[in-house]
Chains A and B, each alone.
Chain A
């Protein structure tokens, strides 16, 4: 029994109880409830989580929640809200016409948590420091494109890039945490600095307590915060196995769900006192074809498979409607980068069969690899393909095994999923993590858009890339799981989803703006 199926079982059991019973008595705790109400009373918020690493800019785990924990302590030059980029540490900025020179005017009077002023020197130092320590963090900030910095005065700093970087706003300027020079100067290996100094930032919260093994973080409000005093005095993240149960028992005040967890969300929709927000989907599950060897080196066969697979059925049967059929161009329909006008392959087994016969590819026998979590999807695909005469053997392994096989290219067909699809940078390797797709024209087009700073021009190129993916089909996308935020409305109701995700594209609804006035 794997951990995943164990969790699933636990979820089912709890859901059965949650759905079947009336509202139970709230769980007793040793502590009196300390939430909300009454002026003067400290407002505390408890969020579900796990260990995502020490929240210093170099020690958090390279996953979305790790970045979020860190972003409560550190600020960036720009940030994002529901509608897009907003000024943050920088009040204003200017970009040269060729897109390589950025000039920032910093907000005056910002202080570090230790009382020192945050100046242009710190910003310049930050860029230089990240550039010099590229091996020390596992986060895809394009810091290798940083050329130099100049401090013009206390509040003005210039950043020179080696070449124009499309999306620099999200990948570099809007997500690189500005760190204090007086602390990091002289630190040789930033990942190993674990003292309290490593979490001195300028952000809306200060770190009170962190326990790695228990997955606990406690933050207190930074009452001197330059964008206003936080509305929450204390923010606690605790490790939780079942988010629905934790929210239901008032153990936490928030829960996040996705995909087939839709059943839990529907149960909360009908309950009083809870708010539900429908989120975007920045994740895709896809079928990867090995285009380097027969049979799928032939694009016509890939298209035949696209006609054979009933994607709608997968969404309905596997996710219970907790997903949408994916865009064939990979990028999420919830971003402006998405091309809505792509070729369609209707589910048509007869046509698929005819195409297979025409390509003289009868009696194919294939190996489909995936992780145990997608065994059900694999089964349906096996079913669909057998209906058109393709024999499929499904092989499952743990994630690292599948990743290894994909990287080596030892597969015919694979099912794999990934996030990041709010950002065109994801199109660099459509078959990621496999490196099997070779298309020189596509790569050329990718490089062109990556250096196109003007948004409209870039969008045209990004749309073209999606057309190639949808026509040439190195991958057949399956679905985008939906996401939801469910919260206790009596504690805090300012939750929202950030446009194209927090920072580089983290899809969860935990933006520090939620805790600010």
Chain B
């Protein structure tokens, strides 16, 4: 019980510190949220703010108040579950983030499930058949895939699958028609639009999981208990699944949890290349625009995500490896 209490306290302190940093760090960057509204160089922004309008707007968004007052407002809003109003996007921060997060979870989440399952499977097979043709073949393929810059991989897929062969759309999350028709048509269309960006993510992140699994498996396969199981005449496949893999998974759990945590930013390059909605570009744009409320909200969500996964990894670890729990007891 004490142990759990300490854990909760630890996480609470982390959250408070992060919330505070979250508020002050964006405000320490040079420039303010009005810089980007009308000014970023582009051919289509004809309007400039007069100094009078700037002052009006700063007041409208409460940015002319003392910093501590703003901090207090921010905490008060959070307590009420109100993330604030985005200055650049001119909409509630909560709804902007939810709108984007859905797509990130769909794109990054499904891709993660695929590359993790595939990475673990292939890594285990590779280690089991160490030195064989299939192991060397896999290793080479994975290494060469892993050395491609991810956005370049995405562009290559577009050039061939969309431009040359016309098999998949060049980008977007769904077509305008499907979005309005809804139902099964929409599901099909979303899946169809998922293929290229999803494939890019899978190919990009697969090598990491594969290599960790392979290494971890190789060390486990050399252990005494595996040799014992084999010498007892246990079926090869059972040795792999029951004895070797569960133990090899320990270091993988940490990696996977971290991967999931950083998924929010990790899909950014794919979002850019495929014009796919998501959190990565949102956070990038919020930073560029110094959109304080949106930055705070987005970081908060990312933070909760990372912390929750850390917690989950802690728990899974304890369950996979009983020694972890025993040491603490």
Contacts and interface: CB of A to CB of B under 8 A. Distances in A.
Nearest to B159: A17
B262 to A, nearest CB: 17
Interface in A13-36: 13-14, 17, 21, 24-31
From B52, B90, B174, B275, name the one whose CB has the most chain A CB atoms within 10 angstroms. Answer: B90
Nearest to B290: A400
Given A63-B45, A140-B53, A191 B90 contact: yes
Contact of B32 (A285, A404, A435): A404
Interface in B205-228: none
B46 A249 contact: no
B275 A240 contact: yes
B93 interface: no
Contacts of B6: none
A139 B166 CA distance: 42
A31 B193 CA distance: 13
B179 A211 contact: yes
Interface in A486-503: 501
A503 B152 CA distance: 40
A242 B170 contact: yes
B43 A404 contact: no
Interface string B37-64: 1111111111111111100110110000
B166 A400 contact: no
B96 interface: yes
Contacts of A238: 172, 176
Contacts of A213: 96, 99-100, 102-103, 277
Given A138-B37, A282-B46, A17 B31 contact: no
A397 B30 contact: yes
Contacts of A505: 46
Contact of B173 (A17, A214, A401): A214
Contacts of B167: 28
A248 B166 CA distance: 11
A14 B36 contact: no
A208 B181 CA distance: 12
A335 interface: no
Which size class do B's interface residues fall under?
Answer: 35 or more
Contact of B35 (A51, A404, A435): A404
B260 interface: no
Contact of A420 (B47, B100, B290): B47
A291 to B, nearest CB: 18
Interface string A365-409: 000000101100000000000000000000001111111110000
A349 to B, nearest CB: 28
B72 interface: no
A218 B169 contact: no
From B32, B43, B48, B100, name the one whose CB has the most chain A CB atoms within 10 angstroms. Answer: B43
Contacts of A27: 162-163, 166, 169-170
B277 A7 contact: no
B89 interface: yes
Contact of A14 (B40, B51, B155, B284): B155
A248 B163 contact: yes
B74 interface: no
Contact of B151 (A9, A134, A435): A9
B179 A209 contact: yes
Contacts of A135: 56-57, 59-60
Contacts of B273: 6, 10, 241
Interface in A45-77: 46, 51, 53-54, 59-65
Interface in B225-266: none
B288 interface: yes
A417 interface: yes
B41 A399 contact: yes
Contacts of B32: 400, 404
A251 B164 CA distance: 14
B174 to A, nearest CB: 7
5 tightest A-B contacts by CB?
Answer: A400-B31, A404-B31, A404-B30, A403-B35, A64-B44
Given A144-B52, A399-B36, A400-B36, 9 more contacts: A6-B151, A25-B165, A134-B53, A136-B60, A238-B176, A245-B158, A256-B43, A403-B35, A418-B39
Interface of A: 1, 3, 6-7, 9-10, 13-14, 17, 21, 24-31, 46, 51, 53-54, 59-65, 134-136, 138-140, 144, 191, 194, 208-209, 211-216, 218, 236, 238-242, 245-246, 248-249, 251, 256, 258-259, 282-283, 285, 371, 373-374, 397-405, 416-420, 422-423, 426, 428-429, 432-433, 435, 481, 483, 501, 504-508
21 contacts: A28-B167, A31-B177, A46-B176, A53-B89, A61-B89, A62-B38, A63-B44, A64-B46, A136-B60, A212-B99, A240-B170, A249-B163, A256-B43, A283-B43, A401-B30, A403-B39, A420-B46, A426-B48, A433-B35, A483-B43, A505-B46
